[in-house]
Structure 1
Amino acid sequence: MKWYLKVLKNYVGFSGRASRKEYWMFVLFNAIALIILSVVDKALGIYPVLYGLYSLAVLLPSLAVSIRRLHDTGKSGAWILIALIPFVGAIILIVFMCTDSQSNDNQYGTNPKATY
């Protein structure tokens, strides 16, 4: 939960680096929240009101942590646009997100693993 809150506190921080753990824990908690909100929306008969509002609320934090994750692997944040290529782009982006951090400092900042 602390990783999720850390990303939300840095919701427009597009500079710096995000570790794999920070990124994937945010994705996990985000997915759980979306599933719960989807079920609640369907039960109340208002689908997709809560789901849509939450998705809109976490749009910027999601983009920011994704770009910081790309920075951690030594890639520019512009690589996020590769997801616009149907199917193949999403697979390539997932591979980038799963790639380990550069062990030393890079042009985007210090290694986030060193701060644990």
Structure 2
Amino acid sequence: MEWMILPLKRYAQFSGRSPRREYWMFVLFNIIVSIVLSIVDTVLGLGGHTSSYSASGPGSYAAGAGTSGGILSGLWSLAILIPSIAVGVRRLHDVNRSGWWMLAPVLVLGVAMVSALARLGANPDASMFGFGIFFMVAMLIGLIVSILLLVWACTRGTIGPNRFGPDPYAPIDDLQETFR
């Protein structure tokens, strides 16, 4: 449980390193809390809703469900925004990468959106075929960078100290020092 809430204790600490355990336990903690809050929002009528669907007919087998959060889920997402970014940056530091890599997918999609708005503003009657190809390439690059970030999040950190700090798994005298 300590690993799940450690990023909350290190709320806006962007320096240092976070091992895989801290990062993924925090992700698991966020998923659990988000599901519970979505259910509570739905039950209390605070704007959340649950939907389900099923396909019927010959040979159909699709079924699914989804929830969207309400007020409590939105507040939770806002509250954990900074610790989520901070633990992601520290996780990248652990694999000896700059935390600025977290912005790469956002920047790629941002450039595509700005290009779309500029093209529409310049000539609204122009064909969007060329831009459609550009936008698809930008989305593909964004997907590749996102997969790269996922791979780095799953990779073991640098053994020993690196340019971002000491190894979080290095032996320490007092275990409580880790969770202060």
Unpaired stretches in structure 1, ≥5 consecutive residues: none
Higher strand share: 2
Compared with structure 1, are the counterparts of its residues 88 and 45 closer, same or farther at alpha carbon in structure 2 (3 Å cutoff)? Answer: farther
Higher helix share: 1
Tell which structure's C-alpha radius of gyration is larger. Answer: 2
TM-score normalized by structure 2? 0.61
Q: Does 1:91 align with 2:113?
A: no
Question: Highest relative contact order (Cα 8 Å, sep 6+), 1 or 2?
Answer: 1
| Alpha-carbon distance between aligned partners in 2 of 1:4 and 1:100, rounded to the nearest angstrom | 18
Contact 1:82 1:93 in 2 (8 A): no
| Alpha-carbon distance between aligned partners in 2 of 1:62 and 1:29, rounded to the nearest angstrom | 11
For residue 88 of structure 1, report the CA deviation from its aligned partner.
2.6
Calculate percent identity across the aligned residue pairs. Answer: 48
- 1:17 corresponds to: 17
TM-score normalized by structure 1? 0.93
Unpaired stretches in structure 2, ≥5 consecutive residues: 49-69, 109-141, 176-180
Q: Which amino acid aligns with 1:82?
A: A
> Runs ≥4 in structure 1, deviation > 4 angstroms?
none
Q: Which amino acid aligns with 2:85?
A: L
Residue correspondences, number: 116
Contact 1:83 1:93 in 2 (8 A): no
- 1:102 corresponds to: 158
Q: How does 1:32-111 map to 2 (within 5 A)?
A: 32-46=32-46, 47=48, 48-84=70-106, 85=108, 86-111=142-167
